Chains A and B, each alone.
Chain A
Amino acid sequence: MIGVGKAKQYANVLDKPLSRGRQEVSLSAFAFLFSEMVQYNQTQVDNIAELERRLEDAGYAVGARVLELLCHREKGNKREIRLLHILGFIHSTVWKVLFGKGADSLEKGTEHEDEYMISEKELLVNRFISIPKDMGAFNCGAFVAGIVRGVLENAGFPAVVTAHFVPIEGQQRPRTTILIKFAEEVPDAYMFFSPVVH
């Protein structure tokens, strides 16, 4: 039987309620915009370090806003005050909202106490970019490093964040690692402190 239990059929397409949309942006549009951004910055600077810094600053602005937006939208208005929690938040929620899936892995550095690494087999922003040999170790993932730095600094955990290529045997393209080094002001208490409510 037609009609019983089915969704209302609207006679006029203008009467249909507006949907929220798929909350997605086309990859080609983003890749185009990002490549234009890199090219624009390339014409403005003289050396690679400056280019990396500019991409990172652009990412920082994004990170600051993403933090505010996500905490309101996803987290039910709870603040993050513990280090591991904020790293987990970046690694799952932020990555999922920005790139459609969680990051591949989150590791703690072995040499220094305050270093952490987020690795990804291939960063979305680097998918259509290949670095010429004469640019050395430059990585457009500096944009993503800037986003992470924006999120951490505005949450109260100042850090220096950089993006590196890590070559892996058996794979043509190297893996990308975002290295997070926290500043000394981040108190160790934040790492282990858990508020006990008596």
Chain B
Amino acid sequence: MIVCVAVVGHQNNPLYLQSFTEADDALKLHHVVHCSLDVIGERVNNPKRNAPALNETFLGLLYPTENYKVYGYLTNTKVKFIMVTTDLDVKDADARNFFRKFHAAYVDAVSNPFHVPGKKIASRSFGARVSTIVKSFGSGTTA
């Protein structure tokens, strides 16, 4: 199940950070998200020889830590979505599907004329949609 999602702007400034566990290690999750930004930067700037095409948005598994897996997604405006999950077997299609829905919610939140780009996303409906998407992710992976 997903424990944390984050939206990070193009200057690596956090735009939205939401954790879905009641445990006190919310700060630890924020650190994990922060470290994964480095991995994204390195993937974007030095493409590996057998890496997927440079202009793909879904970055895939960024790195596995002791009990989390971190997935990344990069949009056209260099805004990054990070997803931290504790599932051990996450199918690629599920992760892509999740990011697609998340991207749709993000586009709707940004289209708000009162939203200042670069500031934190303050829309309550965006938070509600993200919670729905996160809940439906868990049920997709159960057999």
Contact = CB atoms under 8 A, between A and B. Distances in A.
Contacts of A106: none
A155 B75 CA distance: 9
A64 B119 CA distance: 14
B107 A61 contact: no
Interface in B14-51: 47, 49-51
Nearest to B108: A69
B50 A197 contact: yes
A68 B115 CA distance: 14
Contact of A81 (B52, B55, B79, B113): B55
Interface in B47-91: 47, 49-58, 74-79
B100 interface: yes
A19 B110 CA distance: 25
A64 B79 CA distance: 12
B54 A195 contact: yes
A26 B91 CA distance: 45
B103 A72 contact: yes
Interface residues of A, number: 21
A64 B76 CA distance: 11
Most chain-A Cβ atoms within 10 A of its Cβ — which of B47, B53, B54, B103? B54
A87 B57 CA distance: 19
Contacts of B77: 64, 67-68, 71, 154-155
A69 B107 CA distance: 6
Contacts of A61: 113
B140 interface: no
A197 B56 CA distance: 13
Contacts, number: 61
Contacts of A155: 76-77
A101 interface: no
Contact of B78 (A75, A156, A195): A156
Contacts of A78: 55-57
A65 B56 contact: no
A158 B53 CA distance: 23
Nearest to B96: A77
A80 interface: yes
B117 interface: yes
B143 interface: no
B96 to A, nearest CB: 9
Given A69-B111, A79-B57, A154-B117, 5 more contacts: A67-B77, A73-B107, A75-B76, A81-B55, A197-B50
26 contacts: A64-B77, A65-B110, A65-B111, A67-B77, A68-B75, A68-B77, A68-B107, A68-B110, A68-B111, A69-B111, A71-B75, A71-B76, A72-B75, A72-B103, A72-B107, A73-B107, A78-B55, A78-B57, A79-B74, A81-B54, A155-B76, A197-B49, A197-B50, A197-B51, A197-B52, A197-B53
Interface of A: 61, 64-65, 67-69, 71-73, 75, 77-81, 154-156, 195, 197-198
